């Protein structure tokens, strides 16, 4: 398997963080994925649930690799069918609070008006309830926003104290300007390496690096130069490489600062 089109060649030891992965969906064994991530200097991976079952699976995988995998629990807007699952989230968090492994975020949660799998009112209900859980347990949130800019901003007005990351950022510069706040971050995936993504690159250029994080959203959105392969955390270096190019910064500096951002946001050791 080929991972990179060029040698990484980092002069000093800089580590990367993949802030959004779905490891439970990968075809490769977890052992192999983690080994390749370490080889690529990817130190930490946030394993993000999108329903109750995958959130529990994310936790179980973190128990296997507690120094490398960090779980998040949440119900995606396309999965907001069971209110029993929604009600179960607080109890699951409480049960793990005294464990070596703890949930590091509520997510991914939000609104999706592109697929519109569930009606908007139900999506908003699940979104708001999970934001309330984030307040209750003092956790940051991972936000999924697809073609729902205005409603996302409106809802978040009532939750200004919660740290938030807008995952797989795909909105325009206007939304980024409106969404800016001291505790708001923006993460970018392999889509910034695709053609016709100038509106996202404009946001990358605009935002200070201190507000940017890296993610693969694996197994989805494989970087352009690795197309044909299943996306995985090792590939997050390609997102860092593109950000370095756009912002005219060294790869080392991008890796160092985005990892610092991720460790602060998710409260890694």
- Encode the chain (269 residues) as per-residue pLDDT tens digits: 334 434 444 445 679 999 999 999 999 999 999 999 999 999 999 999 999 999 999 999 999 999 999 999 999 999 998 999 999 999 999 999 889 999 999 999 999 999 878 899 999 999 999 999 999 999 999 999 999 999 999 999 999 999 999 999 999 999 999 999 999 999 999 999 999 999 999 999 999 999 999 999 999 999 999 999 999 999 999 999 999 999 999 999 999 999 999 999 999 86
What is 16-266's CATH superfamily?
A: Metal-dependent hydrolases (3.20.20.140)
- Write down the pLDDT at residue 117: 81
- Write down the pLDDT at residue 5: 35
Domain positions in the chain are: 16-266
Tokens of 134: 């984030």
- Write down the pLDDT at residue 11: 44
- Write down the pLDDT at residue 1: 37
| DSSP structure string for the chain | ----SS----SS---EEEEEE-GGG-SS-HHHHHHHHHHTTEEEEEEE-SSHHHHHHHHHHHHHSTTTEEEEE---GGGTT-HHHHHHHHHHHHHHTTSSS---EEEEEEEETTT--S-HHHHHHHHHHHHHHHHHHT--EEEEEES-HHHHHHHHGGGTTS-EEE-S--S-HHHHHHH--TTEEEEE-GGGGSTT-HHHHHHHHHS-GGGEEE---BTS---GGGTTS---GGGHHHHHHHHHHHHT--HHHHHHHHHHHHHHHHT--
- Write down the pLDDT at residue 13: 62
- Write down the pLDDT at residue 261: 98
- Write down the pLDDT at residue 81: 85
- Write down the pLDDT at residue 169: 97
CA 4 to chain centre: 22
The neighbour count for residue 97, using CB atoms within 10 Å, is 9
223 Cβ neighbours under 8 A, 6+ residues apart: 190, 193, 231, 235, 238, 239, 242
Q: How far is 222 from 239, CA to CA, in rounded Å?
A: 10
Please give the model's pTM, rounded to 2 decimal places: 0.94
Residue pair 69/47 in contact (Cβ under 8 Å)? The answer is yes
- Write down the pLDDT at residue 118: 87
- Write down the pLDDT at residue 12: 53
CA dist 199 → 108, 172, 195, 205, 206 (Å): 23, 6, 11, 10, 11
């Amino acid at each position: 398997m080929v991972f990179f089109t060029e040698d990484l060649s980092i002069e000093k030891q800089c580590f990367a963080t993949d802030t959004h992965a779905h490891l439970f969906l990968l075809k490769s064994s977890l052992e192999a994925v983690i080994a390749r991530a370490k080889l690529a200097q990817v130190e930490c991976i946030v394993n993000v649930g999108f329903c109750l079952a995958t959130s529990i699976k994310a936790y179980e995988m973190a128990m296997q690799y507690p120094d490398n995998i960090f779980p998040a629990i949440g119900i995606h807007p396309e999965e907001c069918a069971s209110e029993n699952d929604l009600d179960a989230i607080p109890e699951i968090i409480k049960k793990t609070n005294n464990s070596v492994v703890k949930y590091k975020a509520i997510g991914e949660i939000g609104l999706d008006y592109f697929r519109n799998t569930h009606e908007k009112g139900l999506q908003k209900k699940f979104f708001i309830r999970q934001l309330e859980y984030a307040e209750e347990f003092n956790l940051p949130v991972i936000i999924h926003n697809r073609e729902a800019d205005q409603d996302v901003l409106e809802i978040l007005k009532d939750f200004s104290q919660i740290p938030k990351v807008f995952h797989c950022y795909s909105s325009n510069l206007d939304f980024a300007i409106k969404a800016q706040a001291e505790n708001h971050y923006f993460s970018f995936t392999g889509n910034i390496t695709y053609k016709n993504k100038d509106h996202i690159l404009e946001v990358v250029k605009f935002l200070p690096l201190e507000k940017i994080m890296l993610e693969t959203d694996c197994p989805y959105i494989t970087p352009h130069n690795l197309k044909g392969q299943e996306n995985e955390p090792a590939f997050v270096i390609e997102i860092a490489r593109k950000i370095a190019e756009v912002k005219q910064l060294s790869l080392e500096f991008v890796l160092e600062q985005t990892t610092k951002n991720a460790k602060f946001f998710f409260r890694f050791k």
